Structure 1
Amino acid sequence: MFGKYLSLAERGFMLASAIAFTLMMLLVSADALVRYAFAQSIGFQFELTQNYLMVAGCMLGLSWAKTKGAFIHISGVGKFLGRRGRMTLHGLNHSVAAALFYAVFYLSLQHAVSSFKDGDVIFGYIDWPVWASEIWVPLGVFLLATRFLNDGVRLLLGFEVEGLSSSSEEE
């Protein structure tokens, strides 16, 4: 049941990621068109795409990418283990990854909250609030850590998980 809600959240975050990348592409294309056609630029485009849309796009898609097997998977030891041993090894690896990503979540959330409380801004064409750029990191990393924890527990209990192929280890 929990996995169902986690998958729903991942699809929502991935949709937001796709929207951020689409907006980024449209904004950069519009800026290039305006530069060539009118010798002007969309002044805020660079800061918005670099500090907000790019961060949101990259961070919000992390957990969904993990479920699709898009992360690097080093499996040298797994070749020498049986199926249950591989699942235990992957489960422990997933649990350690979850712990590390929860630490990144905590620290990045502290930083974003501090930026919000201090009223930090990025000076540029528009004075952009820093927290609005930084908040995407803890959001994306929290969901990724939760996916690693969920999958780690499932692997340790002997269940298969989406996005983790063991076929290369069995050759």
Structure 2
Amino acid sequence: MLDGLLRTLSAVEKAVSSIAAFFMFAIMIIVFSDVVMRYGFNRPFSWAYDLISLYLMAGIFFLILSEAYASHAHVSVDILQQKFPPAMIRVTEIVTCLVGIVVFSLIAWLGFLRAVESFRSSDVMAGAIPWPMWPSIGLVPLGAGLITLRLVLHLVAHVLSLATGRDVIALPASHATEETFE
């Protein structure tokens, strides 16, 4: 059952990451077009900065969080873990998951409440275009909710791995090399 949940979450993360990749591509196209319009025709886009900063950058950051965690593509301070036996590494991963669950579930919940409030009050950004704020704010609980689910599943998998002695989920690969910094 855990494997099925992890596969389902991975599929959702892939879809959401594709949206983040599209947002990155959109930023490149908008910035390029804005530069051409600004320096070629002296008519820059008045909406480019607002769209990029309000929606696209928030989308890139929050929509990729969960998949980055799942693939160990995040920053990890593992200098002590390198010296630990596998059981102790599992314990540190359990602690990491517990702390992450608390932090990201709070972000998801408070972000959700803020997005609902923004939607109800029809908040808009002051500027050339009155961009609605709730879609941008809604990216926060979406991304934080996905990483919370990922952390819960990893927590369960690490606890089961520790309890049964078999790898339900693989430990993160060590970033240690044979080189030292002498």
Corresponding residue number in structure 2 for 1:42: 45
Residues in 1 aligned to 2:170 and 2:12: alpha-carbon distance in whole angstroms? 16
For normalisation by structure 1, the TM-score amounts to 0.91
Compared with structure 1, are the counterparts of its residues 132 and 167 closer, same or farther at alpha carbon in structure 2 (3 Å cutoff)? closer
Q: What residue in structure 2 maps to residue 165 of structure 1?
A: 173
Aligned to 1:19: 22
Shift of the 162–36 alpha-carbon distance from structure 1 to 2, 3 Å rule, reads farther
Q: Which runs of 5+ in 1 are unaligned?
A: none
Contact 1:68 1:163 in 2 (8 A): no
2:109 is the alignment partner of 1:101: no
**1:18 match: secondary structure:** helix
Q: 1:156 to 1:32 in 2, by over 3 A?
A: same
User: Is the alpha carbon distance of 1:167 and 1:127 closer, same or farther for their aligned partners in structure 2, counting shifts above 3 Å?
Assistant: closer
Q: 1:124 aligned to 123, 127, 130, which one?
A: 127
Q: Tell me how far apart the structure 2 counterparts of residues 70 and 92 of structure 1 sit (CA, whole Å).
A: 19
Q: What are the ranges of 5 or more consecutive residues in structure 2 without an aligned counterpart?
A: 162-166, 178-182
Aligned CA distance change for structure 1 residues 44 and 155 (closer, same or farther; 3 Å): same
Aligned-residue sequence identity (percent) comes to: 25
Offset of residue 92 of structure 1? 2.5
Say whether 1:145 aligns with 2:148. Answer: yes
Cα pair distance change 1:21/1:163, threshold 3 Å:
farther
After superposition, what is the alpha-carbon deviation per residue over 1:79-124, rounded to whole angstroms, capped at 9, x for unaligned? 4532112112212221221122111100111111111111111011
Deviation (angstroms), 1:9: 0.6
Letter in 2 for 1:32: V
State the TM-score, normalizing by the size of structure 2. 0.86
The structural deviation recorded for 1:167 is 6.1
SS in 2 for 1:136: helix
Tell me which of 58, 61, 69 is aligned to 2:61: 58
Alpha-carbon distance in structure 2 between the residues aligned to 1:43 and 1:162: 49
Q: Residues 126, 155 of structure 1: CA spacing in aligned structure 2 closer, same or farther, 3 A cutoff?
A: same
> What is the root-mean-square deviation in Å for CA atoms of aligned residues?
2.0
> Cα–Cα, structure 1 residues 39 and 67, in superposed 2: closer, same or farther, change >3 Å?
same
Call closer, same or farther: CA 1:51–1:167 in 2, change over 3 Å: closer
Q: Quote the Cα distance in structure 2 between the aligned partners of 1:67 and 1:163.
A: 11
1:68 deviates by 2.0
SS in 2 for 1:135: helix
